[in-house]
Amino acid sequence: MNKVKILGIGGSPRKNGNTDILLDSFLKGAESAGVETKKVMLRNYSIESCIGCEACRKTGICTQFHDGMELLYPEIETSKGLILGSPTYNYNITSSMKTFIDRLYPYYNFTNDRPRQYSSKLADQGRKASVFSICEQPTIEEMGFALEAMEMPLDALGYDVIEKFPVIGCFDRGIVSKDDELLKRAFDAGKKLAEDLR
């Protein structure tokens, strides 16, 4: 990880929607600070749900499935920064984002006692992240647990989550593209993440 890289991951099934547009703004901000970026939309990947076989505890990798995560694991490992974005679905993140997060399980190390203690293979590497969610309703309460559902697993994996970015009152496809102030805030958040990583 000599060159700073930020991986942006979008969990919206809606192509060219608000999540896509805001993720672009985050990544443009990061690029303005001189880092490499890559955008991943989970809808373009076939990713199976974790079945809890726990084989990865022994092997260190997921051996149950040969799917889109095999493409994403190397991207995660070589990216010092991470941006996760999801629309709010029923007070939470989308199923594709939840599946992606669940499939990060191989990065944990567990002890054999009960309850098992854990550590992360990604910890103590200076990794940082930002998370954002977009909600149709006009109050933050209607966003429910979406931000925390992304923040808490990243924190457990050793990321310093420096930005929780809620967006409320947006539903129509692409409507955020008309909000210059919001796009600027996303740009600035991406730039800050990059600057903090450098």
Q: Enumerate the β-bridge partners of residue 123.
A: none
Of 11, 16, 18, the C-alpha closest to 135 is 18
Q: Which two tokens stand for residue 133?
A: 């969610």
Which domains, ranges and CATH numbers included, belong to the chain?
A: 5-197 (3.40.50.360)
Q: What pLDDT sits at residue 3?
A: 83
Q: How confident is the model at residue 106 (pLDDT cuts 50, 70, 90)?
A: very high
Three-class secondary structure of residue 9 per DSSP = strand
Give the residue-averaged pLDDT of 9-28: 97
Share of the chain above pLDDT 70, in %: 99
- What single-letter DSSP state applies at residue 133? E
* Cα 172 from Cα 13, distance rounded (Å): 14
Confidence (pTM):
0.96
Residue 42: pLDDT over 90 = yes
Residue 45: pLDDT over 70 = yes
* Cα 97 from Cα 64, distance rounded (Å): 19
Q: What does pLDDT average to over the chain?
A: 96
